[in-house]
Every structure is written in structure tokens, then in C-alpha cells.
């Protein structure tokens, strides 16, 4: 386990881009988007190279500055981390490419802050130390608080104020959890904690775990901590909404998986029940509230809350039935692909119509075939129609719930019907409708990410076995024996 994870160089590259962008903008402001996009392309290329290494070695580790394991900081990349690093780089590149045409003013600060959000996300996925994870969560959060008020109108300021108050409570709760765990176990390294925690006794540890999970599930926007997501998603620039709604929530679920399964190695009763309950409430609340929205971005935010509820419920079932882990991780991958596609379609609609209120839109069906087919593919994926990738993971969730608690299968099917309901509402109000919009061209920096995402949707829908094999490889990594051996040697 001595190979170096090359994708770790993505963090200094994005950090250098975030620092260079304000310097370059003093002389040539036109180069600013290209610096961001090329840095993300380099990082994506390194992540693709590391993917092959991880599949061969299992886990790649590196000790920062050479200090041995519990005394220095560890960079540990195993299958689950690599999957998230790859998806963050991919969606980050799509968001950056989309915003070259979308954002026209105050570009310097926007690109610098977006590169910092990517630094934060990548740092969380690479690290093997809880306090380091907390610091990188803060980088991501503070850059999002700042970017939420990009448009500086009344709605943005209100959403940013609510987000920052709620987000800092969650951050302080995470620090409280870290303090409790340190008092009981005495170390901050994840692999070292996984060795010490079975020996440490007392109810302080479950309290620390509960506080940590509450903080991380806030960032993932699961019920009861979902209140910030619709407000924030309706006031930020749409490319950043793509990144935050998909990759931001996925990194919250990744952090929860790391703490609960790698550090604490829990398969106990309370975690299982609380994850299922929170997942079911997120699914139902997200779908029901999405039916009532007239703002397309709020509706898509509620839709992503509902889909993340499926993932959390399936991960909760996983401690009883191992198929739940595979289904949950495969569905997380599919959510990131089709939700990003939905938000990018909404971005094109908002860009050309200037408003996000669906009652004022209509007739986009004749605008551009790429927009139309991308939206139809994403809509059918999110409902779970066969031949699209949403079906491949939803059928696994239905089977897993049928084997343990059949009542959850009924609830999942009803929520899928509600998903079809609100997706048809968007389709009807935006794409059909009285007036006709004359056909227009979409710039190539906008349709190329959408076409690639739609192709991935179709690929994993037609060939689901490849996705299942990858998710199996990731889910079997959730037991921490190989992690500890790889880090501590």
C-alpha cells in the first residue's frame, strides 16, 4: 500500500487556480473562466488515472510530510473515496464549463469561490482524519455561504442569512461530537479510532456519534435538516446549484458512511432504525412538497431531497440485508448523474427565458432537440422507467426492501408515482403550453456536458450489470479491515 494517490494533486491544483484567478483578473479578465476550467480538467484527468490504481491496489495511502500514522495526517483513498472523487471532478467540470456562458459579471469572485468549493469537496473525500474533514467541510461551507448571496437581491440575502445561521449550528455540533470522541478515545485518525473505539466504554461515544451524524446529515439535506436546500437552490446561479445539490449532498452522505461504518463499524439497531425513518420522511416530504412548487429550481431541490431519502433508507436497510448497501451506492451514483442533468436543463431554460417561475414559461418543446431529449431522459431516469439508469438502482432498492420490510416497498412505489407527478408538471408547464418559442442554438459549452450526462444515463440503463459490479466492489469495502490495514500497515 505504498502507491501515492495521484488524484491528491487535484487539491493543490484547484487551490492554485483559486489564488491565481484574482491575480490574473487584474490584467486580462477574459482568461478567468479558462483557468478554472483547465484546472478542473487536469484534476479530472488525475482522478481517472488514480481510478485504475485503486481498482488494482484496494487502498492508496500517503502520510502528509512523512509523519507516521496516528501522529500526522493520513490521506487514504479507497473504493468509496475514489468513486466520490471521480464524481466530484466530473460534475465540477460540467458546472464550470456551463458557467462560462452563464455568468457574465463579477466573474472573478464567482470562479475563485467555485474553485474553493471544489477544493473543500475534494479534501473531504481524500482525508483520513476527522479534524481534517471538519476543516475542509468549513472551506466548502464558507464558500457556499459567500456564493449564496451572489445576486445580492432580497431573496438571496434572506436565503444566505438562514443558511449561514443553520450551517454554523451544524458545524459547531460536529465540533462537539469530535470533542466527545477525543475525550473517550484519545486520537483523531480514523483508522486509529477504529482500533480504539471497541475498547473504550461509556455512553459518551454514542452521544458523540449522534452529534456527528446530525451535523453531517444537515449538509446532506435529509429530513429534519432539509430546510436550507430549497431556499438556497432558488437564489443561486444554476451551475453552482448543480454542484451543491448533487455533490454537496453526496459528500454529506459519504461523511456519514465514513464515520458510521469505517470508524464506528456499527450495524446496531438504533442506527438502522433512525436511518430508515429519516430516509422515509425525506422521500415523502420531498415528493409531496415538490408537487406544490411553481419555481423550477425549488422543485428540483425538493426532488433531490426526495431522491437522497431513497439512498439513506436503502443504506439503513443495508445492516440487515447486504443488498441495501449496493442499491444505496448505485442509486447515489445515478442521482448525481440525472440530477445534474435536470439542473443543467433548468439552467438553459432560466438563461433563455430570464425567469424561473414556471407559470410564466411555456413552449420550450420546440426550442432545441438536445434540451428536449436531455430533459426527457433525465425525467424518465428519476421516475425509474426501465432502460434508464434510475430503474437499475430502484429495482435493487425495491428488492432489498421487499426482503426485509415490505411496507417500505409500498412507500417507495408511491413516492415514485409522486415523482412522476411532479416531473410531468414540469414537462407540461415548461415544454408544452400555448406559446411557441422559436428554435435557438445552445452554445457548445452548455450542450456538451448535457449530452455526456445523458449518454451516461442511457449507458447505465442499458447495461446495469457494470454499475452493479462497481457498486458491489464499493459496498464490500464498508467493513473497515482493509482500511485499517492499509493505513496503519
CB of 91 to another protein, least distance (A): 20
- Contact letters for another protein, residues 213-232 (x by CB under 8 A): -----------------xx-
CB of 206 to another protein, least distance (A): 10
Binding status of residue 101 toward another protein by CB under 8 A: no
One residue of 31, 42, 48, 161 binding another protein per CB under 8 A: 161
One residue of 291, 292, 414, 476 binding another protein per CB under 8 A: 292
Applying CB under 8 A, the span of 95-103, 176-184, 267-275, 405-413 interacting with another protein comes to: 176-184
One residue of 34, 49, 55, 67 binding another protein per CB under 8 A: 67
Task: Report angle CA 283, 146, 26 to the nearest 5 degrees.
Answer: 140
CB of 431 to another protein, least distance (A): 23
Residues in region 261-290 near another protein by CB under 8 A: 289
CB of 145 to another protein, least distance (A): 5
Binding status of residue 297 toward another protein by CB under 8 A: no
One residue of 2, 30, 198, 203 binding another protein per CB under 8 A: 203
Residues in region 102-141 near another protein by CB under 8 A: 106, 108-109, 112-113, 116, 119, 123, 131-132, 135-136, 138-139
Binding status of residue 476 toward another protein by CB under 8 A: no
Binding status of residue 33 toward another protein by CB under 8 A: no
One residue of 84, 87, 184, 313 binding another protein per CB under 8 A: 184
Q: Whose CA is closest to 419, among 250, 329, 289? A: 289
Binding status of residue 155 toward another protein by CB under 8 A: yes
- Contact letters for another protein, residues 298-327 (x by CB under 8 A): x-----------------------------
Applying CB under 8 A, the span of 30-38, 143-151, 270-278, 313-321 interacting with another protein comes to: 143-151
CB of 123 to another protein, least distance (A): 7
Residues in region 4-23 near another protein by CB under 8 A: 15, 18-19, 22
Applying CB under 8 A, the span of 42-50, 181-189, 277-285, 394-402 interacting with another protein comes to: 181-189
Amino acid at each position: 500500500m505504498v502507491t501515492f494517490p495521484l488524484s491528491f494533486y487535484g487539491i493543490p491544483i484547484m487551490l492554485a487556480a483559486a489564488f491565481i484567478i484574482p491575480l490574473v483578473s487584474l490584467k486580462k479578465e477574459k482568461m478567468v473562466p479558462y483557468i478554472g476550467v483547465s484546472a478542473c480538467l487536469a484534476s479530472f484527468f488525475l482522478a481517472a488515472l488514480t481510478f485504475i490504481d485503486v481498482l488494482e491496489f484496494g487502498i492508496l495511502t500517503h502520510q502528509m510530510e512523512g509523519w507516521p500514522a496516528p501522529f500526522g495526517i493520513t490521506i487514504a483513498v479507497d473504493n468509496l473515496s475514489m468513486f466520490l472523487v471521480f464524481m466530484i471532478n466530473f460534475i465540477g467540470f460540467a458546472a464550470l464549463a456551463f458557467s462560462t456562458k452563464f455568468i457574465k459579471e463579477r466573474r472573478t469572485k464567482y470562479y475563485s469561490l467555485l474553485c474553493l468549493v471544489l477544493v473543500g469537496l475534494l479534501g473531504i473525500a481524500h482525508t483520513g482524519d476527522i479534524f481534517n474533514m471538519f476543516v475542509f467541510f468549513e472551506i466548502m461551507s464558507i464558500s457556499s455561504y459567500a456564493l449564496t448571496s451572489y445576486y445580492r437581491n432580497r431573496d438571496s440575502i434572506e436565503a444566505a442569512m438562514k443558511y449561514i445561521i443553520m450551517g454554523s449550528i451544524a458545524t459547531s455540533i460536529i465540533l462537539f461530537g469530535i470533542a466527545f470522541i477525543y475525550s473517550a478515545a484519545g486520537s483523531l485518525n480514523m483508522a486509529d479510532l477504529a482500533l480504539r473505539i471497541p475498547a473504550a466504554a461509556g455512553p459518551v461515544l454514542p452521544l458523540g456519534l449522534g452529534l456527528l451524524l446530525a451535523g453531517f446529515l444537515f449538509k446532506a439535506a435529509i429530513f429534519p435538516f432539509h430546510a436550507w436546500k430549497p431556499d438556497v437552490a432558488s437564489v443561486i446561479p444554476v451551475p453552482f446549484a448543480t454542484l451543491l445539490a448533487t455533490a454537496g449532498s453526496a459528500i454529506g452522505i459519504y461523511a456519514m458512511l465514513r464515520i458510521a461504518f469505517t470508524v464506528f463499524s456499527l450495524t446496531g439497531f438504533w442506527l438502522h432504525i433512525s436511518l430508515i425513518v429519516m430516509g422515509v420522511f425525506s422521500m415523502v416530504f420531498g415528493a409531496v412538497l415538490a408537487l406544490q412548487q411553481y419555481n423550477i429550481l425549488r422543485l428540483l431541490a425538493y426532488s433531490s431531497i426526495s431522491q437522497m431519502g431513497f439512498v439513506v433508507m436503502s443504506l439503513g436497510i443495508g445492516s440487515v440485508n447486504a443488498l441495501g448497501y449496493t442499491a444505496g451506492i448505485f442509486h447515489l451514483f445515478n442521482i448525481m448523474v440525472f440530477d445534474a442533468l435536470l439542473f443543467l436543463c433548468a439552467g438553459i431554460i432560466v438563461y433563455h427565458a430570464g425567469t424561473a417561475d414556471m407559470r410564466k414559461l411555456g413552449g420550450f418543446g420546440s426550442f432545441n432537440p438536445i434540451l428536449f431529449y436531455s430533459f426527457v431522459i433525465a425525467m424518465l431516469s428519476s421516475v425509474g422507467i426501465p432502460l434508464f439508469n434510475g430503474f437499475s438502482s430502484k429495482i435493487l432498492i425495491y428488492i432489498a426492501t421487499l426482503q426485509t420490510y415490505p411496507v417500505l416497498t409500498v412507500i417507495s412505489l408511491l413516492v415514485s408515482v409522486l415523482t412522476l407527478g411532479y416531473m410531468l408538471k414540469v414537462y407540461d408547464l415548461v415544454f408544452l403550453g400555448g406559446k411557441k418559442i422559436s428554435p435557438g442554438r445552445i452554445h457548445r459549452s452548455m450542450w456538451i456536458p448535457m449530452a455526456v450526462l445523458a449518454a451516461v444515463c442511457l449507458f447505465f440503463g442499458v447495461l446495469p450489470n457494470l454499475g452493479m459490479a462497481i457498486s458491489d466492489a464499493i459496498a464490500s469495502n464498508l467493513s473497515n479491515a482493509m482500511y485499517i490495514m492499509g493505513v496503519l500497515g
